Every structure is written in structure tokens, then in C-alpha cells.
Amino acid sequence: MIRNPILPGFNPDPSICRVGEDYYIATSTFEWYPGVQIHHSRDLANWTLATRPLTRAAQLDMRGNPDSCGIWAPCLSHADGLFWLVYTDVKRLDGAFKDAHNYVVTAPAIDGPWSEPIYVNSSGFDPSLFHDADGRKYFMNVRWNHRGKGTGGNPAHASFDGILLQEWSPDTGLTGPVRNIFDGTARGLTEAPHIFKRDGWYYLTTAEGGTGYDHAVTTARARDIWGPYEVQPGDHLMTCRDAPDHPVQRSGHGQYVEAPDGTGYHTFLMGRPLPGRFCPMGRETGIERVVWQDGWPVLEAGGTLPRSAVPHHSSTQASEPITYDLNAPTLHPDFQWLRTPDSDRIFAATPLGLTLIGRESIGSWFEQALVARRQEHAAYSASTVMSFDPVNYQQAAGLTTYYNRSKFHALMVSHDPTLGRVLTILSCPGDWPEGALTHPIAPVPLNDGPVALRVDVDHETQKFYWRQTGAWTPIGPTLDASAISDEGGRGEHASFTGAFVGMAAFDTSGGARQATFTQFTYVGHDV
């Protein structure tokens, strides 16, 4: 049995490809570094992280990118003995513009080496590359229209101004005419194009309805790659818009793949909203089996609702608690950081532990020392052990549940002019756009020596704990964990990542005070 999501936690916009018996899924990473997650599977049920290919400044530098910008909707394919990865680096979210730059990198193997990027265009986002049987390649992306209402091809949302198609090659770039091949359906917000070919038809898959609860997968087809494209009867291969109690929600944005025996599958973006309709795990990846009827793909079970459990010859294995040895010479691949390719300035893996170098404030869009992993469960515990000796109140380090600069809670060791070394809580429970801090407790004095910090998250609530010796001691009030979600603060249509839990440090005095973390544990309490 395949259990959805197959990629739990923040793993949106799944692009899937098969090479022989191996399947690969690339997902968006937005402002988290390194860029793009690629998972591997042999059975479609169990997936492991294979690589994050965008690892250096020449490929990706997101310093200054706003929250929920950066890597949008990569496309992974395989042709000519190479893996091809197409991706967007979005530099702006607010206002009429997006400033989305599209690139291609290649590699002979999934773990690299990945090439220097080839710039393609900046006309919009969600790029995709189709390799036709005759060897020609075609590049697609959403055209972004900044002009406003009534100026685009789809009346539901003028900014999403159709799917552009143009021939492309790595040697000559874009060539020939660029054409808008699809304006979308009445659902609007048409994006995420992928083309595949079957029985002489070109099939165009798009996502529509936005990335929230109206989301959908839309399929169209044409005999010629340039169109005209006719839309599937009923418009949408899958959508959960009209089934608010279905356990899988927000289904959309995926890609078709066939197994070696011809069985069809379709990945999709999904959410698992908790009571109150909030998604701390963000937008995750699911997969469904599809069959063909009258030349169209349809869900095997009928209707438009993807299943939580898909019958299969393999079973999805439950996740296990994990304790990370932070004395290792490299950072464990479960962890990421924010925006900067120059990671040496914000952390170092040493024999004594993971050292975070305090830089800019928590929530900075440029250079903050925050190393964290995804929340994958509705209820979990996470803990760490830290050594840190601040000398002023501008220096702080500790444990945080984090979504972005306006959605986080942090239990931090800092310094009080009267009390010396103290514990304090810094919280920003969804205050967008100001990002104002609240301080739920008065500073708590600490003894010298290491400090253990813990957070317990249970659906919509969370509680911090600490100890230096003896039993865990609760600290501060029960906090609102629902704010650390897609729907918290600004809301789902501008919050594209997911909740993380991890280690943070800052030093706004400019002194680069260091904190050393020797252990980190994550225990999920549900499956």
C-alpha cells in the first residue's frame, strides 16, 4: 500500500521522471538552501533523498529573496544520457511583478556533477522542458502579466497569462516563434505546465485554481505540440475543492509517469489540514494510479479525489525517531539553511558539534544562522543540547519552530544586563507584514554550562522545555502552533513552504558570537 503523502513535510510541486527501474521526484525548496530536493525510489512507495543539486553561488544565490521566493517548481527529465533540471529563481513576491529567472542545469548522474546554469528567460515561472522523439526540445513556462485585470487571456486571473512554448536547445537557446498554447479553464490561475506524448497525442498537464483549497490538475491534448489543445471532459483530472472533509486536500500541480509495464501514475501536490484547516507540514507530495479511458487519463478509483492509500505491491514504511550526531564532519542531509551559498559564514560542522555563527537577526532575508529540518508529523518532539555564552542582549541562540520571518517561536539563550545569562522566548505568531516580536516570559536565569532545550508540538499547540540537570522543566505559556503553517499570518496564497524545527543563532552587535550544538533529536508521534 502506498501511503500519501509519499514525501511528507514541505515537498511541493513534484516533477517525476523514470529512468529504467528508477524513479526520481524533484520538488521546490523556495528560500531554503541547497536548492531543489530530488528523491529516489524503486517501488514508488518508499523514497530517499538522493541529492540537492543547486549547491553553489553560480547556480543559486538567494540572499535578499523575500519569504516564499527562490526556487519555484523545478522540472526534472532524462534524455540524451543526461538528467535535465529546469528551475526558476523568483526574486519578488509582492506587487504587480515577479522577476522570475529560468535556468537549466544537467548532470550525467542524479548525484552529479551538476553543470553551470544556462539562462533561458524571465517571462514567468514554472518552467518545463519536453524532449520530443525527434530529438527537438521545447521549453514552457507561465507568462506573468503585470498589467492588471482585463488584460490577460484568462478572465479568472489576468496575471496568469497562459502557457508559453518555444523550441530550445543547449547550444542555440530559444529559437523560432514563442506561442501561447493554453489559456486555461474557467478555474484560472493556470500554471505548472508539463507535456508528455502518448498514442500520437501531446498531453499538456497544468495546475489551476491556486495552490490552496481550490487547487486542481487540468489535462488538455492536441495532435500538434503547438495546439490547439482541447481540455479533458470535466476539465480536471483531480481536485478536492468540493470535498472539504476529504483527508487529502489542495491536490494539484503534478506530473504523469509510466511504469515499465505501462501502468500510469500521477504525482500531485497535497495538504493534510489539521482541525481548523491549517497545514503546518506545508504542501507535500502524493501519488495516484491513473488509467486511460477514451484517450484521457482518469483516476483509477474514479472521480477526482486522490486516495490516502493506493493499493500497491510495496508498502510505505513508517518513519522512525532520529537522533542526529552533530559531531559528524558534515551536516546531515535532513537539515537545510536559508538563502546563502556561503554557508561557512553561518555554520561549521566540527568535532565538537555544529557551530552556528551569529550573524543577522532571526528572519533576515540575507544572512541568518538557522539550520533546521522539516516538520513531518502533526505531533512531534524535538530537542537539542547547546553551549553558548553571550555577553550582551543582542546575542542569542537556541531552538526554534520556524516558517518565515513573521511566523516563528524561539526558545533562546541570551544575556540580561542584570541577570547575566538567561533563557527567553521570542515569538512572532503570524504578524505580517510588520513582523513584531512578542516576549511571552520574563528572562529566566541560567547556571554556567550546556543547556538542553526541547519543544513538544501537538497539532495546534506547542510547549517549550529546558534543563541543565535533572528533569525537563516547562517554560512559558502554551503557544499557538497553528501560526507556524501555510494558513498562518499572511495565509496560504503567499506562504509556500512549511514548518521547520531547528537551531538558530544571531548576533546583531556584529560580534559573530558562536553557539555549539552537540545533539538534535526529532521524534514524530503520528504516522
Using 50, 70 and 90 to split pLDDT, how confident is the model at 319? Answer: confident
Residue 210, pLDDT score: 95
Report the C-alpha gap between 361 and 395 in whole angstroms.
Answer: 9
Q: Specify which residues 422 forms β-bridges with.
A: 414, 445
Q: Which three cell numbers stand for residue 370?
A: 538557522
Q: What is the DSSP string of 151-193?
A: SSS-TT-TTEEEEEEEEEETTTEEEEEEEEEE---TT---EEE
Residue 209, pLDDT score: 97
Q: Is the pLDDT of residue 392 over 80?
A: yes
Residue 97, pLDDT score: 96
Using 50, 70 and 90 to split pLDDT, how confident is the model at 318? Answer: confident
Q: Which residues are catalytic?
A: 367
Amino acid at 183: D
Residue 320, pLDDT score: 87
Q: Which three cell numbers stand for residue 127?
A: 518552467
Amino acid at 96: A
7-29 confidence digits (pLDDT tens): 999 999 999 999 999 999 999 99
206-229 confidence digits (pLDDT tens): 999 999 999 999 999 999 999 999
